[in-house]
Amino acid sequence: MTEILPPLAHDATAVLIHDVGNYIQIAMSAMRLMSRHNGVASSHTLWAMVAQAEDSLDRAGALIRLSRTGLTSGEDVRLDECLAEMGTLLRYVTGPNVRVRLHVGIVPKVRVNRLGLQNVLVNLAINARDAMPDGGVLSISALFADGPEAPEVEVTVTDTGTGMEKDVLARALEPRFSTKPTGSGMGLAGARQFIEEAGGRITISSTLGRGTAVTLRLPTIV
């Protein structure tokens, strides 16, 4: 007999499948590059590809393990370190036609699941890449900001892509809403759920023909 899961369980499963699939695709991309690699002169590049494939598969496995307990368990995270260690991964995600720029100011720590936050940023980077089929610039910044009740850290992911129509922007954070032919509609919805469970919030602004900015606000550690 087939077990029928409640709607929230279906959403959680869909988010997990979506996110694990991202890392498997990244690993496969690195492996495809390895299969085309010739010559010993670029052995450093080859080992970088191997390391990226292993890292992506490790992240996929970690997401599966964490799905049993949830991604809400927090740790004290320095965003400058968190973003710095993602540089290579983000460049693999976005490909050779997208320039990745990281801007991190002096910011206090936030309490959040490190892998979960990095997973959100990977999802946003993939969306940005897809919005820039002819290439462009992906910028990720982390800055100190005043919040309504307490200081916050503001992380902004900006692309120079196609932007969104107003009706698309209004529904962008809805579960299972996607404009991509093969999209699951769970990337932004999963990001919203994670950020809100961490005590933060997510907003999106977009201008058609100019690009999109996704802003994450997270409370700092007092």
Give pTM, 2 decimals: 0.71
**Whole-angstrom distance, CA of residue 25 vs CA of residue 17:** 12
Tell whether 43 is covered by a domain: yes
**Whole-angstrom distance, CA of residue 213 vs CA of residue 204:** 6
Instruction: Give the CATH number of the domain where residue 161 resides.
Output: 3.30.565.10
Q: Which domain holds residue 95?
A: 7-219
Whole-number pLDDT of residue 36: 57
Whole-number pLDDT of residue 206: 97
Length of the chain: 222
Q: What percent of the chain has pLDDT over 70?
A: 64
pLDDT top residue among 113 and 136: 136
Tell whether 168 is covered by a domain: yes
pLDDT confidence band for 20 (50 / 70 / 90)? low
Whole-number pLDDT of residue 40: 41
Whole-number pLDDT of residue 3: 34
Instruction: Please provide the DSSP assignment of the chain as one string.
Output: -PPPPPHHHHHHHHHHHHHHHHHHHHHHHHHHHHHT---STTHHHHHHHHHHHHHHHHHHHHHHHHTTT-S---EEE-HHHHHHTTHHHHHHHH-TTEEEEEEE-S---EEE-HHHHHHHHHHHHHHHHHT-TT-EEEEEEEEEEE-SSSEEEEEEEEE-S----HHHHHHTTSTT--SSTT--S-HHHHHHHHHHHTT-EEEEEEETTTEEEEEEEEEBP-
Our count of domains for the chain comes to: 1
Whole-number pLDDT of residue 167: 93
Tell whether 54 is covered by a domain: yes
Tell whether 145 is covered by a domain: yes
Tell whether 159 is covered by a domain: yes
pLDDT confidence band for 80 (50 / 70 / 90)? confident
pLDDT top residue among 118 and 154: 154
Mean pLDDT of 106-120: 86
Tell whether 2 is covered by a domain: no
Taking phi first (over 0 means left), then psi (-120 to 50 degrees means alpha), and beta for anything else, what does residue 202 get? beta
